[in-house]
Structure 1
Amino acid sequence: MQRRQSVKNKIDATAAEWVAREDAGPLSSEQSAALAAWLAADSRHLGAYGRMHAIMMRTDRIYRGASVDADENQRAEGARGRAWGMRLLAMAASLTLVAGVAWFAMERQAGVHATRVGEVAHVSLEDGSEITLNTDSRVRVRYEQGRRGIELLRGEAMFDVAKDPQRPFVVNAGGTQVIAVGTSFTVKRSSAQVDVLVREGIVQVQEQKQELRLLRGDKVRLATRAAPVLRRVDDAEVRRELAWRNGMIAFSGQTLQEVTQEFARYNRLRIRLADPGIADLEVVGMFSATDPIGFSRAAAQSMQLDMALGDDEIVLRARATKKNQ
């Protein structure tokens, strides 16, 4: 996550420097060749170069203002100002990179690990345990002498726990504690509930005065002001529940409304149902978690729906029936 952002910042800074050089005067043949090679090296370079030129054009309009009769001294001053503006932009990109790296370092030093929307990340802990973070999730690791503490601050995570009977592995999710010694389980936290699924081994779940012992294949939902809901799930459902680790989400009879809510966890592009009548249609299948467009096209084809793609949403509606003439 941080590496991708740092690469983007470096590209933007380099593009800004090239545009500033061009604005200051004609490039030499060697510089022109170097610029051409840089643009050809990566498709992202051309995009950044175009963005910086657009910024230069806007800056040029600001310096020119409404007058078309500026004298040579004013135009020269404007050129110097634009060049300084591009240099400042390059400096800002570099400072953003430094600030991002510093923030990332402080987060890691505090034991905090996080993912953005659509990302999945793996974290290796000092004792050999592993955490897999789902989309838009955040944990804080606090290992002590007699306790391996994890706080799930947001989202969902899978914990593959190395055995150590002397140091229990404790996950806190709001008011819920999940305690294990050596096992594999997931915890999903939302504002209204906490879900725990045991993939291997045994875990204890504590909430207020309640305590539950979960075995492999047990899944419990602990909702606010409601009794725990415990049920057994088979291996096939466990695999579906954990498909997100490979960037997929699986459905086995969920309603179209529930499916749109699940896709919203992984994407900024939302799926909107324009007709209430299609909300209860059932969905079966496995789909890429970060491809709502691909899912919507498949749903439109299989469910006889119309699909419209906008700037920030996908709209699904019942297909209009043709009337007999």
Structure 2
Amino acid sequence: MNPHAFFPMTRSTTTPLSLPLNPDQLSLWLVREQATSLGDEERQELLRWRQATASNETHYQQLLLTWQATQLVPDEHWRRILDQAPLQASRRRWLRTTLFIGAPALAAGTAVIALPGMRTLWQVTPQFTARYQSARGEQQRIVLPDQSILHLNTDTLVDVAFYADHREVTLHQGEALFDVHKQHERPFQVLGGLASILVTGTLFNVRRDPDSLSVIVQEGQVQVSSGRWWSPSHVSLGPDQRLRLDSSTGRPRVDSTPAPAATAWHTGQLVFSNAPLSEVVRELNRYRAPQQAIRIMDDSLTSRRIAAVFELHDSADLLETLPELLPLRVSTLPSGEVQLHAR
């Protein structure tokens, strides 16, 4: 079959794509196209991408044929497959696993054909890979090969993979500040479990906790995509905007917050503005060993609010300051645990 028979191939003479399509995004857009959920501008963007090169059109047609093959699988089997999908697994990996492994196993005798060339299409070799990890209480500053700067906060683990057409960082845990060097032809993507963040060049912060994710933009614009890959939500953020996602609801919440204060940790400071003591203690404990955790011993203290700036690496000053701000006393146990009592 000639993949170009479906579409007249002419090189586009229009302006370059505002958001180049990498394999992950192509798979998402094709699924949305088949579900008639692409907007007019996105359909035009996809059309221009297909027209740009013969290789683009070949990739599109190969993926389209595979999508059509999946229609052989009964709906109830696909529902079981999709319900097991991770919220933000790499669409490339999930699509490959579902089409080549999951569907035949779950569909009990229903065959899904792996088309020639599809395995090669999705098995792209990165040009650069690295893993970076910071210990509890440690910050790191890393200059990546594209001159982007990655600041790791306490207890953070990331994997970096640079491809010819996009740059990708997986934030497994912790918090990172990204100062992305602008490359329009190679967008920069951060995968954070509950969402992915896509930019070409900007300054933004991502924090991944066990059950939540937050994104704060300091400079430029970012696009945050969340939800299941077949029914995504897209939110654009600008300077001093914060998006929060909770795994229990999956719905993004956007508010305004001073980004320099929220990202002051990379300069060795924590800034609190009218924050409850429970939040302050939770944040401080991220930088302390578990046996030296700060604990609130009286519930009456949890909602008392603080406005202060703490030096991260000066615990003695921090503990001396708290009784000046709130009616409490500080007790330090031989183990190093710190207890806060009302007075």
- In structure 1, list runs of 5 or more residues that go unmatched: 1-108, 320-325
Larger relative helix fraction: 1
For residue 186 of structure 2, give the secondary structure of its aligned residue in structure 1: coil
Query: Of 330, 333, 342, which aligns to 1:307?
Result: 330
What's the TM-score once normalised by structure 2's chain length?
A: 0.59
Counterpart in 1 of 2:245?
Answer: 222
Matches within 5 A, 1:133-282: 133-208=152-227, 209-226=232-249, 227-233=251-257, 237-268=258-289, 269-282=292-305
Letter in 1 for 2:323: A
For residue 331 of structure 2, give the secondary structure of its aligned residue in structure 1: strand
Counterpart in 2 of 1:298?
Answer: 321
Letter in 2 for 1:157: A
Letter in 1 for 2:234: E
In structure 2, the CA distance between the partners of 1:249 and 1:121, relative to structure 1 (3 Å rule), is same
What is the CA–CA distance in structure 1 between the aligned matches of 2:190 and 2:267, rounded to whole Å?
A: 23
What is the CA–CA distance in structure 2 between the aligned matches of 1:314 and 1:188, rounded to whole Å?
A: 26
Shift of 1:307: 1.5
Q: C-alpha deviations, 1:117-153, integer Å up to 9, x for none?
A: 1111011011111100011111111001001011111
Q: C-alpha deviations, 1:19-71, integer Å up to 9, x for none?
A: xxxxxxxxxxxxxxxxxxxxxxxxxxxxxxxxxxxxxxxxxxxxxxxxxxxxx
Letter in 2 for 1:229: R
8 Å CA contact retained: 1:156, 1:189? yes
For residue 123 of structure 1, give the secondary structure of its aligned residue in structure 2: strand
In structure 2, the CA distance between the partners of 1:112 and 1:204, relative to structure 1 (3 Å rule), is same
For residue 164 of structure 1, give the secondary structure of its aligned residue in structure 2: coil
Shift of 1:190: 0.8
Q: How many residues align?
A: 208
For residue 145 of structure 2, give the secondary structure of its aligned residue in structure 1: coil
What's the TM-score once normalised by structure 1's chain length?
A: 0.62
For residue 286 of structure 2, give the secondary structure of its aligned residue in structure 1: helix
Counterpart in 2 of 1:129?
Answer: 148
What is the CA–CA distance in structure 2 between the aligned matches of 1:294 and 1:274, rounded to whole Å?
A: 21
Shift of 1:291: 3.4
Q: Return the index of the structure with the highest Cα Rg.
A: 1
Counterpart in 1 of 2:101?
Answer: none
What is the CA–CA distance in structure 1 between the aligned matches of 2:201 and 2:169, rounded to whole Å?
A: 14
8 Å CA contact retained: 1:293, 1:314? no
Identical counterparts, % of pairs: 30
In structure 2, the CA distance between the partners of 1:273 and 1:176, relative to structure 1 (3 Å rule), is same
For residue 270 of structure 2, give the secondary structure of its aligned residue in structure 1: strand
8 Å CA contact retained: 2:194, 2:247? no
Counterpart in 2 of 1:33?
Answer: none
Letter in 2 for 1:172: L
Q: C-alpha deviations, 1:220-264, integer Å up to 9, x for none?
A: 00111322101123xxx2221011011111111111111111111
Q: CA RMSD in A?
A: 1.4
8 Å CA contact retained: 1:296, 1:316? no
Letter in 2 for 1:179: L
Shift of 1:189: 0.4
Matches within 5 A, 1:27-106: none
